[in-house]
Amino acid sequence: MNLPLLSFALILGTTGLMRLVELAVSVRRIRQRPDDLVAEPNLFPAMALLHSGLVLGPLAEVLWLGRVWNPVEAGAAAFTLIVATSLRVWTLRTIGLSWNVRVVTPPPDGIATTGPYHWIRHPNYLVVILEIAALPMFHGAWISAIVLSLLNAAVLSVRIPTEEAVLMQVPAWRAWFADKSRLIPGLL
Domain that holds residue 117: 3-177
Distance CA(89)–CA(76), nearest Å, equals 20
pLDDT in tens, 3-41: 999 999 999 999 999 999 999 999 999 999 999 999 888
Using pLDDT thresholds of 50, 70 and 90, give the confidence band for residue 187. confident
Residue 187 located in a structural domain: no
- Determine, yes or no, domain membership for 7: yes
Q: What is the CATH number of the domain that holds 41?
A: 1.20.120.1630
**Number of domains, the chain:** 1
**Residue 183, domain member (yes or no):** no
pLDDT at 1: 63
Task: Count Cβ atoms below 10 Å from residue 126 Cβ, excluding itself.
Answer: 20
User: Considering the domain boundaries, does residue 37 fall inside one?
Assistant: yes
In a domain, 34, yes or no: yes
Q: What share of the chain is helix, strand, coil (3-state, %, to 5)?
A: 75, 0, 25
Backbone angles phi, psi at 20, to 5 degrees: -65, -40
Note whether residue 162 is domain-resident. yes
Share of the chain above pLDDT 70, in %: 99
Average pLDDT, the chain: 94
- pLDDT, position 40: 87
| Mean pLDDT of all residues in 47-68 | 96
Classify residue 184: in a domain, yes or no: no
Read off the pLDDT of residues 65-96 as tens digits, 9 standing for 90 and up. 999 999 999 999 999 999 999 999 999 999 98
pLDDT tens digits for range 105-140:
988 777 899 999 999 999 999 999 999 999 999 999
In a domain, 188, yes or no: no
